[in-house]
Structure 1
Amino acid sequence: MKSITISTIQAMEILDSRGNPTVRVFVELSDGTASVASVPSGASTGENEAIELRDGDMTRYAGKGVLKAVANVNHKLAPVLLGMDPFKQALIDHTMIALDGTVNKSNLGANAILGISMAVARAAAKSANTPLYQYLGGTGARRLVVPCMNIINGGEHSDNNVDFQEFMAVPLGAPNFREGLRYVAETFHVLKGILKDRGLATSVGDEGGFAPNLNSNEDAIETIIQAIEKAGYKPGIDIAIALDSAANSFSTDMCNNYDLKWSGTGAMKSNDLINLAEEWVKKYPIVLWEDPLAERDLDGFKQFTARLGDKIEVVGDDLFVTNTQYISRGIAHKEANSALIKLNQIGTVTESIEAVRMCRDAGWRYFISHRSGETEDTFLADFAVAMDGGHLKSGSASRSERVAKYNRLLEIEQQLGEDALYYWK
């Protein structure tokens, strides 16, 4: 039998959910199998993330065009990859990494490289007549994720006076994904009514959560709890709360000085934030806290984890940027107990899987995540099931680029039938 090879790789410029350009890649195999993948883009980014290549041409899209990345796919990466075996994902990804030749993919662009990486994986799965989640995770991949739904946006994902970036509802008490999604979607709609009754805005932020001006950061939590109860659920039993401070956005030195400027709370030190977190964890049903401190505040992260790591999941995002170099340091120094996993933060499917494996081997959790600039591509949903991490954040119950991931997970659950699993821990 003639071996299957990559016959075509072609890229184009499209728009993401914020109306900014991003990369879409088409791949065709020698057996006629075709696939496409679209690359997301982040707004709140860590300084060590892989670089998404932008044109810098101020006459197009305010400099945010990606024609250089598209050209790199078509004229630099494709000629090297054509004829390769699409089932050798690691070889393909490492070939692109070597061709780029930089530590952060700044030469060819993480957006160019990831587009090919995702499209090749999807094409190989289709050619093998295997669902993507099983192609990436094995035939035993059957655990659905608990959807950590972002229902109030703040920080750099909105224009309100809430400092913390994400307030998420977590349906850990639901019997399955379908019901868990219903729990938090209903809570989202009840929350809208509560905000309207208070005369607050019900417009949404980048990730589909509401972005009202509230009395305080704590008011966001209390309003969500009110919505959970009004929707007929028990806080902490049916639905818990997860937070993403994205503390880089309000740190004045990326270390131990902070200014909760949007809410008017003012200057704080690391220990002040840790004390606040300890108070909230005692008071509210919080189960996960992402980036509670800035990425260079390593001592702060260690203290936060020492004081709260046995009670909640402490997630490093900007701290680790899906990079095994930084995750290994975090494991060694107990900076957290979980890492956020974002495909475009590291730039290939293979490296994302390696980051997950490192977390798993250390007994850490790992939290699969979308980006604030998304597309309708559902690769992330399959990837989350493949990685067996148990939870995912993909935005709110609004905006089609968010809902597309949830709908794909519903499809996967239906395909798995009685074999599907759903649990938090």
Structure 2
Amino acid sequence: MIRPVGAPSEKEAIRMGAEVFHALQKLLKKRGLSTAVGDEGGFAPALDGIEDALESICQAIRDAGYEPGKDVKIAMDCAASEFAVQENGQWFYDYRQLKTGMPKDPNGKKLTADEQIAYLEELITKYPIDSIEDGLDENDWENWVKLTAKIGDRCQLVGDDLFVTNVKFLEKGIKMGAANSILIKVNQIGSLTETLDAIEMAHRHGYTTVTSHRSGETEDTTIADIAVATNSGQIKTGSMSRTDRMAKYNQLIRIEEELGACAKYGYTKLK
């Protein structure tokens, strides 16, 4: 995922995102790779691993005329629960084969939790990554605390599977010092009231919030309004393709136009 942090407005951020998306499409075509899109509108080519994907995104940012790290940064969703295993009370992160049944990766490694944390630190040092979602398993609370202590001052650490938009789990994370951000999914927790409670608790304790879509979406634009109304400042709603994704971006543009000079791009810390 990309984050157009250097944009002066929402409209410009969306334009930048579209330009990088199409630059990446051209890059993949040039390499003879697939440019078919998945449920969330993103590409899923057969790349040579994680760093190949990151290098490709950085090159697409440059090809679009922007500077990686200054104009556009990268966000990762590791979905670590999909390749985490617990053995004899210890957590391991097995890149050789995901739980979702993907083919075995002969170049993958099986990392300890400490090695996984070190690997994530290596990636944010090498690439312009400023946000990592679900970098560890949803039940690996102890190592989430270690990860947050290690890189939480340099990177947004988003809990999706960790918190599931639930104030009970968020409160636990706040007390332990696990993560520094929460992904917000309205239909994950089940009601708008509980969603707003989670956002309010997060902001009160200095956690950022990322309002999110689901993999299976419709053209409903409610989450765009929620992102603005709650001062979330961040929305995760898929790539620049598919009408179910574009509908949210179009709504954000309409909201910005209606707000006029009062519109502020990005998260504004409440006093």
TM-score bracket for this pair, using the shorter chain length: over 0.9
Find the aligned partners of 1:178 and 1:285 in 2 and give their Cα distance.
Answer: 23
Deviation of 1:266 after TM superposition, in Å, equals 3.0
The alignment yields a C-alpha RMSD, in angstroms, of 1.3
In the superposition, the TM-score normalised over structure 1's length comes to 0.59
Do the aligned residues in 1 keep the contact of 2:232 with 2:267 (CA within 8 Å)?
no
Deviation of 1:177 after TM superposition, in Å, equals 0.4
Find the aligned partners of 1:237 and 1:175 in 2 and give their Cα distance.
Answer: 13
Find the aligned partners of 1:206 and 1:185 in 2 and give their Cα distance.
Answer: 17
The aligned residue for residue 26 of structure 2 is 193
Three-state SS of the structure 2 residue aligned to 1:252 is strand
- What one-letter code is carried by the residue in structure 1 that aligns with 2:60? A
1:333 matches 2:179: no
Q: 1:403 aligns with which of 246, 260, 263?
A: 246
Do the aligned residues in 1 keep the contact of 2:84 with 2:91 (CA within 8 Å)?
yes
Three-state SS of the structure 2 residue aligned to 1:340 is strand
Q: Which has the higher contact order (CA 8 A, sep 6+)?
A: 1
CA-to-aligned-CA distance 1:306-337 (integer Å, 9 cap, x gap): 00000011111100100000000000000111
Q: 1:205 aligns with which of 16, 38, 52?
A: 38
The aligned residue for residue 91 of structure 2 is 256
In structure 2, the CA distance between the partners of 1:216 and 1:237, relative to structure 1 (3 Å rule), is same
The aligned residue for residue 368 of structure 1 is 211
Find the aligned partners of 1:294 and 1:208 in 2 and give their Cα distance.
Answer: 25
1:343 matches 2:186: yes
The aligned residue for residue 391 of structure 1 is 234
Find the aligned partners of 1:173 and 1:303 in 2 and give their Cα distance.
Answer: 30
Three-state SS of the structure 1 residue aligned to 2:241 is coil
In the superposition, the TM-score normalised over structure 2's length comes to 0.93
**Larger Rg, first or second structure (1 or 2):** 1
Find the aligned partners of 2:195 and 2:8 in 1 and give their Cα distance.
Answer: 29
- What one-letter code is carried by the residue in structure 2 that aligns with 1:259? D
Find the aligned partners of 2:239 and 2:250 in 1 and give their Cα distance.
Answer: 12
Deviation of 1:270 after TM superposition, in Å, equals 1.2
Do the aligned residues in 2 keep the contact of 1:247 with 1:292 (CA within 8 Å)?
yes
Do the aligned residues in 2 keep the contact of 1:172 with 1:424 (CA within 8 Å)?
no
Three-state SS of the structure 2 residue aligned to 1:336 is coil
Q: 2:11 aligns with which of 178, 188, 195?
A: 178
Structure 2 residue ranges without an equivalent (≥5): none
Three-state SS of the structure 2 residue aligned to 1:421 is coil
Q: 2:62 aligns with which of 214, 219, 229?
A: 229
Three-state SS of the structure 2 residue aligned to 1:258 is strand
Q: 2:133 aligns with which of 290, 294, 299?
A: 290
Deviation of 1:252 after TM superposition, in Å, equals 2.6
Question: How many positions carry a matched residue from both structures?
Answer: 258
Find the aligned partners of 1:385 and 1:295 in 2 and give their Cα distance.
Answer: 28
Do the aligned residues in 1 keep the contact of 2:132 with 2:155 (CA within 8 Å)?
yes
